[in-house]
Structure formats: structure tokens, C-alpha cells
């Protein structure tokens, strides 16, 4: 959980590791810090490298293309969701898919696998845009872990990975309210597209578990964000 002392900060991200007790901002992060927020030398900013730490830093130097800051204090955080993988189908509505992705990041999910279900209508990948959404949501929610996202072509590729598969199916007689996490175990949460999983895909999950979220049928993006909220509460 974020420290109360950090609740009102603005967070910046750099993919570069700390070197000689300094961090550097480039590109969009540099432009936002210097040209939008008007930070200047001697000012205090907060930066994360997306690896579990937030650095309170003092701006040492600003050039035409980069901001260099000296680290003053380090805040470290535990990733409680490190063994949780959200397997998201490509949705017909790109806006709804991006909404679900954004909210999951804000709630603390840090692993995503995007796949093409048999009933997926949308095709193709927008990895650059998705990565921007992830970074923005991480900073907005003051998260210190940059989520990882990968794409696969089919559900079968996910089934072959080691870990317990959790499939959400409206006809299940088990409620997700009764689900308990074993922190030492890896989980893959499987969400279906607008038309749901096909019978063949459901059969693939032979050794997994099936749950329902309630008696009402939910849109894919609603189910995804609901599970994220329940897991990270």
C-alpha cells in the first residue's frame, strides 16, 4: 500500500536503472516534467523505474533533452500480485478493452496475456498504445511495478503454461466469492470475449477451476475489472 506521505505526489517513469545515485528522464516524461509542470533545478520530484521502488529525487541538472535527478530517499513496495496473470481476450470494442486494461493496472494487476479467442472479432495488436496506457495508469495510481504484457494467438498457448487456470463461466456452480489465493501458487485468470468461450475452449481447461461472478451475465470488461477489484481489495 502506498505511504500516506506519497498520496499527493506526481509520479514520473524512467525505464533506465539508477546509476551513481542518479535517475534520468527523457522524451515525454522529460517534456511533461520540464515544459508542462515547469520543474526546475533544485526541485523535488518522484520517479519510479517500474521495479518496485519510488525514488524521492532532487533535480540536479536540466539540459535540452534530459533531466538528471539525485536520489534522496527510496520507498520500496511488495508486489502481492506477482503470481496473478490476467488473460484478456481481444474485444470488438477497443475502447472497452483499453478501459479494462487501464483499471486493472490501477487496481494493482501486474501481468497480462492478451489472446485471440475463437469467438474474438477484433484482430491485430496495438502494443505501443497499450504500453502507453499501462505506464499512464501506473503513474496515475502511484504504482511502483510496471505491468508486463504479452500476446499469444490462442487460448491453447496459455493452457500449456504451468499454473492453475481459473475460467469464468456463467453456468458454474461455484461462486468466486469463495475463491482463496495461495500466495505461493501461480494463477491464470481466463476471461472470454463478447460471445464467451467456445465449447472446445472450455474443454481445454481440463485441470482448471470454474467460477461465476454472480447470477447476472456481465460484459467482458465488467467481469475483468470486477475480478481485479476483488483480488486487490
Establish whether domains 4-76 and 84-232 are of one fold. no
H helix intervals, 13-93: 27-31
Pair 22, 71: CB distance under 8 Å:
yes
CA dihedral 191, 194, 200, 205 (to 10 degrees): 10
Task: Detail the DSSP E strand segments found in the chain.
Answer: 11-13, 22-25, 44-48, 53-62, 67-76, 84-89, 111-115, 148-151, 164-168, 187-190, 209-211
Pair 187, 163: CB distance under 8 Å:
yes
pLDDT attached to residue 42:
97
Stretches in the chain below the pLDDT threshold 70: 1-4, 121-123
pTM: 0.92
H helix intervals, 141-219: 155-159, 199-204
Cell numbers that stand for 178 in this block: 469463495
User: SS3 of 72, please?
Assistant: strand
pLDDT attached to residue 229:
96
Pair 106, 137: CB distance under 8 Å:
yes
Query: What does the DSSP 8-state code read for residue 178?
Result: G
Handedness of CA 44, 48, 54, 60 (dihedral sign): negative
Placement of cell 453456468 in the chain: 171
Residue-range domain boundaries for the chain: 4-76, 84-232
d(CA 140, CA 18) in angstroms, rounded, equals 22
Cell numbers that stand for 158 in this block: 496459455
Cell numbers that stand for 74 in this block: 527510496
pLDDT attached to residue 3:
64
pLDDT attached to residue 172:
84
Please state, in angstroms and as integers, the Cα–Cα distance from residue 182 to each residue in 80, 149, 179, following that order: 11, 23, 10
Pair 189, 155: CB distance under 8 Å:
no
The distance from CA 176 to its chain's CA centroid, rounded to whole angstroms, is 21
48-71 tens-digit pLDDT: 999 999 999 999 999 999 999 999
pLDDT attached to residue 2:
63
d(CA 21, CA 71) in angstroms, rounded, equals 6
133-173 tens-digit pLDDT: 999 999 999 999 999 999 998 889 999 999 999 998 888 88
Domain 4-76: give its CATH code. Answer: 2.40.240.20
Domain 84-232: give its CATH code. Answer: 3.40.1280.10
Q: Which helix (H) or strand (E) holds 133?
A: helix 127-140
d(CA 155, CA 113) in angstroms, rounded, equals 10
Cell numbers that stand for 77 in this block: 513496495
Amino acid at each position: 500500500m502506498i505511504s500516506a506521505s506519497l498520496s499527493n505526489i506526481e509520479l514520473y517513469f524512467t525505464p533506465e536503472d539508477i546509476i551513481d545515485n542518479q535517475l534520468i528522464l527523457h522524451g515525454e516524461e522529460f517534456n511533461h516534467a520540464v515544459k508542462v509542470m515547469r520543474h526546475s533545478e533544485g526541485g523535488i520530484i518522484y520517479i519510479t523505474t517500474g521495479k518496485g521502488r519510488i525514488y524521492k529525487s532532487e533535480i540536479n541538472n536540466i539540459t535540452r533533452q534530459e533531466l538528471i535527478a539525485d536520489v534522496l530517499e527510496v520507498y520500496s513496495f511488495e508486489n502481492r500480485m506477482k503470481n496473478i496473470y490476467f488473460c484478456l481476450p481481444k474485444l470488438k470494442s477497443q475502447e472497452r478493452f483499453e478501459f479494462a486494461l487501464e483499471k486493472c493496472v490501477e487496481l494493482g494487476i501486474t501481468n497480462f496475456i492478451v489472446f485471440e479467442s475463437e469467438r474474438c472479432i477484433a484482430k491485430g495488436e496495438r502494443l505501443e498504445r497499450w504500453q502507453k496506457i499501462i505506464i499512464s495508469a501506473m503513474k496515475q495510481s502511484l504504482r511502483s511495478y510496471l505491468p508486463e504484457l504479452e500476446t499469444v494467438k490462442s487460448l491453447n498457448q496459455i493452457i500449456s503454461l504451468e499454473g492453475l487456470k481459473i475460467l469464468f463461466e456463467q453456468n458454474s456452480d461455484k461462486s468466486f466469492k469463495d475463491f482463496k489465493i495461495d500466495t505461493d501458487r501461480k494463477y491464470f485468470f481466463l476471461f472470454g470475449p463478447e460471445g464467451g468461450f467456445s465449447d472446445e475452449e472450455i474443454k481445454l481447461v481440463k485441470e482448471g477451476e470454474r467460477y461465476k461472478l454472480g447470477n447476472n451475465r456481465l460484459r467482458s470488461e465488467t467481469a475483468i475489472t470486477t475480478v481485479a477489484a476483488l483480488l486487490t481489495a
